[in-house]
Amino acid sequence: MNRYETWFCGTRLWRWMTRRQVLPWVLKGSELGEHVLELGAGPGAATEELAHLAARVTSLEYDHAFAAKLGARVNGSNATAIQGDAATLPFADGTFSSAIAILMLHHLRSHELQDRAFAETWRVLRPGGVFLAFDIRDGWLHRVGHIRSTFVPVAPAGVFARLTNAGFSKVTVDIQRGGFRIRALRAREA
């Protein structure tokens, strides 16, 4: 992330927006279940709120410094922060009841890595588990905001095919002014 993103994701404003606007929209109509995987937690704008909503939260973050700082804040509660890569998840199959990625997908450096992260998320979800995401669309403003950072936007129109290929069912995408949300299920076994 560049300095602007690092600053913004750590602000009280973004934490407030995450708690009051982003999470309520992304979670609407879904059950997190007892163990949530948070992908790309960053400074942890969503972490404590998720910890209020589920019995356990595991927050995965690629950046060592963010992971260590978040761990110092939440480890010992019902949340745990660990360093790791969303494209090669360090968890056993079927570990989580849900997974959530807020503003993380466009930080994966290629479409191939994004597809690997989708497949890995499917693998670590239990049958019946739900994957939820919120991300931003391509546009000049976001490109400028990501100078000296990674910005590989996920096109909403391609989400259904990509997540279905990764194994998910009932994939939906909803777009609103600030971004789009994804909901996808790992089907229960027949």
Q: Which residues here bind ligand SAM, judged by CB under 6 A? A: 1, 5, 9, 14, 18, 39-42, 45-46, 60-63, 66, 85-87, 102-104, 107-108
Shortest distance, position 75 Cβ to ligand SAM, whole Å: 17
Place of tokens 């994957």: 131
Q: State the amino acid at position 163 in one-letter form.
A: L
- Return the number of the residue (129 or 179) whose C-beta is nearest ligand SAM: 179
Contact indicator for 115, 125 with CB cutoff of 8 Å: no
Joined tokens for residue 72 = 């110092």
Joined tokens for residue 34 = 């007892």
Joined tokens for residue 28 = 């609407």
- Return the number of the residue (92 or 190) whose C-beta is nearest ligand SAM: 92
- Return the number of the residue (86 or 125) whose C-beta is nearest ligand SAM: 86
- Return the number of the residue (138 or 188) whose C-beta is nearest ligand SAM: 138
Residue partners of 96: CB distance under 8 A and separation at least 6:
33, 35, 36, 37, 58, 124, 125, 126, 129
Shortest distance, position 134 Cβ to ligand SAM, whole Å: 8
Shortest distance, position 190 Cβ to ligand SAM, whole Å: 32
